[in-house]
Amino acid sequence: MPITPLPLPAGPAMLGALPTLERALTGTAPIHPHSPDESPSVPDGPVPDDLAVAVATSGSTGTPKLSLLTAANLIASAEATAERLGGHGQWLLALPPHHIAGLQVLLRSITAGTTPVVLEASGATPLRGSGRGALAPQDSALALVEATARMHGERRYTSLVPTQLARLVEDPLGLEALRRFDAILVGGAVTPAPLLDRARSEGVRLVTTYGMSETAGGCVYNGTPLRDVTVRTGDDGALEIGGPVVAHGYLGLETDAFVVRDGQTWFRTSDLGSVDGEGRVTVLGRSDDLINTGGMKVTPRTVEEAVVAHVPAVTGAVVVGLPDPEWGQIVGLAAVTSPGGPPPGPVPADGLGEIREMLRPHLPAHALPRRVLVVTEMPLRGPGKPDRTAVARLLEA
């Protein structure tokens, strides 16, 4: 069955692709959504009979792969999401439509029988958290206000990445627009706890999500798996996800990440985590991001959360391992600060010592940063994910 490449532009022009997406959801006309800037090559390989979408992964662990999502996968995800949120509704698209989170906004709209509202192309760039060339936060807020005013559904939903949420919460117009949604899914990267607390205290109804292209997007909401989704930990602590939302596999690529047991497909993630007795999922971070310093393991997410919570003026943090001849690796920290905070550049020894003392009550000694760089904006890739490779290059330089 041929897979048709489908360019999905930013802005309302994207709505012209809805009939093609609707046909894809029948499982008879599969597509590969991509950016108009790309000229994708779709590899050959076996596909399931009801394939709907071959969507690219974020490339967190290397070259992006094409996840094979069936119509059954996508419909199960849409229905379980509606059930968790309180019913189907109208969606606002504020993310790139060729990534799974943005694509799901469109597919959920089709499943619900509603027409999504799409941000104007001029307002879409800053809301991607794409870094360079983004418009000012005020423009982001105005774009969201205008788009929200065009929504007339009984229930209103949208999906954002943490970078978008942080910009909009700080703007009175953006905050007022956020309050109009019955639920806002936030994912794609870790959302700092202070940001979640601030937004929720202002009346914004946030739902944190965890998932990936291989699971048809978010499948764990506020720490609890969606209906019929099961999450467990493997012997090495990696999270494994099973259920009707799990993809068939990768196009043209054999892998042991997908396993069928007792008629159910399981996907073995690269994320470390835990599942408590009530089924609540805690994600600790990617196994390949672990830092080994002097034989001691450090989970970057643990350090990042401590930095944002306990170092004044820091609004964003990314922690990476840096090569070191004595320790093997040392903990490096890139931080974004609020206005009036430290200027961009390497933090000198006295400032580094102060940061380490602030963190000492909250982290073991081996997890304290040994190198800190203040940046004006964090390097990102895809829909708002931190680019750890770029961060490491900045710190090493």
Q: What CATH number is given to the structural domain containing 301?
A: 3.30.300.30
| 220 and 326 together in one domain | no
Q: In whole angstroms, what is the distance from residue 220 CA to residue 127 CA?
A: 23
Domain end, chosen from 226, 261, 282, is at 282
Q: How far apart are CA 358 and CA 369, in angstroms?
A: 11
Start-to-end C-alpha separation, the chain: 49
Pairing of strands 90-93, 156-160: parallel
What's the alpha-carbon Rg for the chain, to the nearest Å? 21
Predicted confidence pLDDT, tens digits, the chain (397 residues): 799 999 998 888 899 999 999 999 999 999 999 999 888 888 889 999 999 999 998 765 557 899 999 999 999 999 999 999 999 999 999 999 999 999 999 999 999 999 999 987 654 444 433 333 333 444 578 889 999 999 999 999 999 998 899 889 989 999 999 999 999 999 988 888 889 999 999 999 999 999 999 999 999 999 999 999 999 999 889 999 999 999 999 999 989 999 998 888 999 999 999 999 999 999 988 888 899 999 899 999 999 999 999 999 999 999 999 999 999 999 999 999 988 778 899 999 999 999 999 999 999 999 999 999 999 999 988 677 889 999 999 999 8
The pLDDT score that the predictor gives to residue 61 is: 54
* CB distance 127 to 19 below 8 Å: no
Say if residue 296 is in the same domain as residue 182.
no
Query: Taking a C-beta distance cutoff of 8 angstroms, is the pair 280, 224 a contact?
Result: yes
Domain CATH number, residue 86: 3.40.50.12780
Domain count, the chain: 2
Please check whether residues 52 and 161 belong to one and the same domain: yes
96 & 116 share domain: yes
Same-domain check for residues 90 and 232: yes
Domain boundary residue, one of 229, 257, 282? 282
pLDDT for res 219: 98
Closest CA to 67 of 32, 36, 92: 32
Kindly state whether residues 358 and 383 are assigned to the same domain.
yes
**Are 26 and 65 contained in the same domain?**
yes
Three-state DSSP at 20 gives helix
Are 306 and 255 contained in the same domain?
no
Tokens of 376: 């004006």
Whether this prediction's pTM lies above 0.95 is answered by no
State whether 245 and 302 are in the same domain: no
pLDDT in tens, 243-270: 999 999 999 998 999 999 888 899 999 9
274 and 302 inside one domain: no
* Of the residues 282, 313, 342, the one at which a domain ends: 282
Domain limits at 113?
4-282
Are residues 351 and 342 in contact, defined by beta-carbon separation less than 8 angstroms? yes
